[in-house]
Amino acid sequence: MAHSKAVPGTVLLDATGVPVEEVSEFFATMLACGASFSSLRSYGMALLRWWRFLAAIDVPWQRASRIEARDFVLWMRLVGPGGRPGGYAPATINHALAVVKMFYADRLRAGDGPLLNPVPSADHRAGRRSQAHHNPLQPFASGPRAAFRQKMPERIPRHLPDRLFDELFATLRSDRDRALLAFYASTGARASELLGVTVDQVKPGDQRIGVHRKGSGRLQWLPASADAFVWLRLYEQQTRRPDGEQALWVTRRSPVRPLTYSAARRMLQRANESLGTAWTLHDLRHTAAQRMVDDPKMSLSDVQWVLGHAHITTTQVYLRPREEEVVTRVLAHHRDRDERPTSAPPRPVDTAGYSAEVLAVLFGGPRP
């Protein structure tokens, strides 16, 4: 992967280091359709994986068929990143298939590719994606998976309980890192959204911070906790930002430059190493969402607005019961049942004044 001078964005280099013209044309189409540069890089990494696979089996991209697409999926299921065994995650495989399919569809429209897209659709006759006109107020119904698509396991968002969040917060080494963690856990912003904030997008008086939403790029002012702005003030007092530097989050060592996603992730990795945990930056977004959902004063539509979800059905995932909480409630249920007083023994029946024949009819005994 490399940056192109002829075409804005990213280009794909072949084995000789020459940009692949057809892929550059595809990238230009995506940019013209409004794709972000981060999305372009994601597309490029998926196509790079496909190009390397085709080079390994010595098949030109124009001659790839369903057989090559099938073998590509089998290879990804066996060999993971860096050649490690275990394979890629199902979501990564499905994303790669989607990008390859988009690339071939673009080349077919341009009259520059094969007659057949090697990645099949779910409905070959209609050629349309499932749930294309879905009502956002209704839950999604699971449709048939297209060929080669992987079954996605159901994932419950992982959040940090207050006790574990406090432990993680206590291990951080600087006020910048503490401010970052506090903003992540109170705004619910995505990692890249918060890292992209500039100094003019902070309003301490209104207790809000402005982020550009992933995908749409629109500016949204998110409310944050008072503690987050306290730690931000402490961080700003210690920061010597170069003239003209507009990034809010910068490195602590010279040369001072904007903080990258890799550096922020490494900050969290150091804290995880000291605690023996494996929390991620995205877990902090889940933590903010779960805290808001658990507050009875906030509606689900409020949480949807804060998280920037296009559909409220996406936000509903935070309403699912969490395993540890269900286990705690069930164990409490069993303890309550064990502690209940046993029922009193039945009182003896007073049979005085009844004949033996009447008693036999009432209680089913033999008649005298």
Q: What is the CATH number of the domain that holds 272?
A: 1.10.443.10
Q: Residue 83: inside a domain, yes or no?
A: yes
Model pTM? 0.70
CB-based contact 39:47 (threshold 8 Å): no
Asked if residue 185 and residue 93 are part of one domain, the reply reads: no
Burial 122-152 (b: 16+ CB within 10 A, else e): eeeeeeeebeeeeeeeeeeeeeeebebbbee
Who's near 357: CB < 8 A, 6+ residues apart? 367, 368
Q: Residue 297: inside a domain, yes or no?
A: yes
Q: Residue 342: inside a domain, yes or no?
A: no
What band does 124 get if pLDDT is binned at 50, 70 and 90? Answer: very low
| Residue range 219-230, pLDDT digits in tens | 999 999 999 999
Asked if residue 231 and residue 92 are part of one domain, the reply reads: no
Q: Which of 93, 109, 125 is the last residue of a domain?
A: 109
Determine the pLDDT at residue 145. 75
Q: Residue 77: inside a domain, yes or no?
A: yes
Q: Which of 319, 342, 362 is the last residue of a domain?
A: 319
| Residue range 197-210, pLDDT digits in tens | 999 999 999 999 99
Determine the pLDDT at residue 203. 95
With 50 as the cut, is the pLDDT of residue 275 above it?
Answer: yes
Determine the pLDDT at residue 141. 59
User: What domain range includes position 207?
Assistant: 162-319
Q: Residue 227: inside a domain, yes or no?
A: yes
Instruction: Give how many domains the chain has, as a whole number.
Output: 2
Q: Residue 200: inside a domain, yes or no?
A: yes
- Percentage of the chain modeled with pLDDT above 70: 85
Q: Residue 53: inside a domain, yes or no?
A: yes
Asked if residue 166 and residue 94 are part of one domain, the reply reads: no
Which of 15-24, 52-61, 200-209, 298-307 comes out lowest in average pLDDT? Answer: 15-24
Asked if residue 105 and residue 177 are part of one domain, the reply reads: no
Asked if residue 193 and residue 277 are part of one domain, the reply reads: yes
3-class secondary-structure state, position 94? helix
Q: Residue 202: inside a domain, yes or no?
A: yes
112 versus 4: the higher-pLDDT residue is 112
Q: How many CA atoms lie within 13 A of 81 on its CB side?
A: 4
| Residue range 323-334, pLDDT digits in tens | 777 888 899 888
